[in-house]
Amino acid sequence: MQLYKSRGFSEFFQDTFGFLKQNGKHFFKHYFIVNGIFLLILLAMGYFFTKFYTDVVFGGLASGQGATALDNYMNENLGLFIVFLLVFLIVALISATVSYAYVPIYLKLYEEKGGKHFSSNEVITVYKNSIGKLVIYIICCIVLAIPMLILFMIGAFALMITIIGILALPLLVGGFMLFFTMVLMEYLDNKKGIWDCFGYSWDLLSSKFWAAVGSVGLFYLMSYIAQNVVSLIPYFFGMASFLTTIEQGGPTEEEIGSAMMVIMMLVFFLSFLVSAILGNIVQLNQGIVFYSLKEDKENINTKDIIDLIGSGE
């Protein structure tokens, strides 16, 4: 699929799903190879945290202490909790950075190689060569976080006044996320400084504002709905299990704790996996939008076609 191509609102959708149809297996295969170790660490930490939470809370219920059991445990093991939290935050930050940069790096290689003719090692090599830029990008985003967050909150508050405005919230989220994603994609192109990329991203965004933001916003809305629907599935199974147990004479405290543990783990694992997959699809849509707007602005593909015609004469 040609990335540098002028598109409208409907083409943003069609080409996102078209890209997944053509390259989805290759795309997600390398995503899980590159991000697998971080995802496994986060899943393992999530498992131990969920087990700890259910053991402490439902152990407290059994002893009659109720929810105060968690507070007591936290007070008695504050140092251990802080260390665990810091490790989790560090791993989560690294994992989030690697995951967030995957789509820009993948599409960069896809364009350079003329398709999916590259391996995981080449993806990792680009990561290694881009460490400095990723660090600079994160720092600049943090610097801009406060003023951008203020603008976002003002916009969200203004939209929430009316029902129609609430429905438009995904557009606001999509607009902000698209802006930052295009900054990173342009920055990894090795042609501009970071602050120039922020200005360039705004120029692209404003060139086809409603079509671009509308596409990304709807993808965010679909992703949010799908993720919540999938997360509800374990709850339905859990409720069915509770009803079956009640019919057989009522659940014991141990059975409640075991059931809650299973439900929480299923919700955590499903939400984590679905969130990773849907997040990549949403970001892929942003990549399609980026290359489309860049083509409209710079006519990159058109110039290449003209050069090829000229070289053949």
Domain-located, residue 178: yes
Domain-located, residue 26: no
pLDDT at 235: 65
Per-residue pLDDT, averaged over 31-50, amounts to: 80
- pTM greater than 0.75 (yes/no): yes
CA distance 212 to 214: 5
Residue 9 scores a pLDDT above 50: yes
Domain-located, residue 2: no
pLDDT at 312: 47
Total domains in the chain come to 1
Residue 25 scores a pLDDT above 60: yes
pLDDT at 249: 54
Domain-located, residue 21: no
Domain with 244 in it: 31-307
* CA neighbor of 175 nearest in space, from 97, 278, 286: 286
Domain-located, residue 1: no
Domain-located, residue 145: yes
Asked whether 106 and 30 are in contact (CB, 8 A), the reply is: yes
What angle in degrees, to the nearest 10, is found between the helix axes of 120-129 and 9-63?
A: 80
Domain-located, residue 17: no
Residue 110 scores a pLDDT above 60: yes
Q: Could you give phi then psi for residue 4, rounded to 5 degrees?
A: -75, 95
Domain-located, residue 165: yes
* CA neighbor of 284 nearest in space, from 6, 44, 22: 22
**Quick one: pLDDT band at residue 308, thresholds 50, 70, 90?**
very low
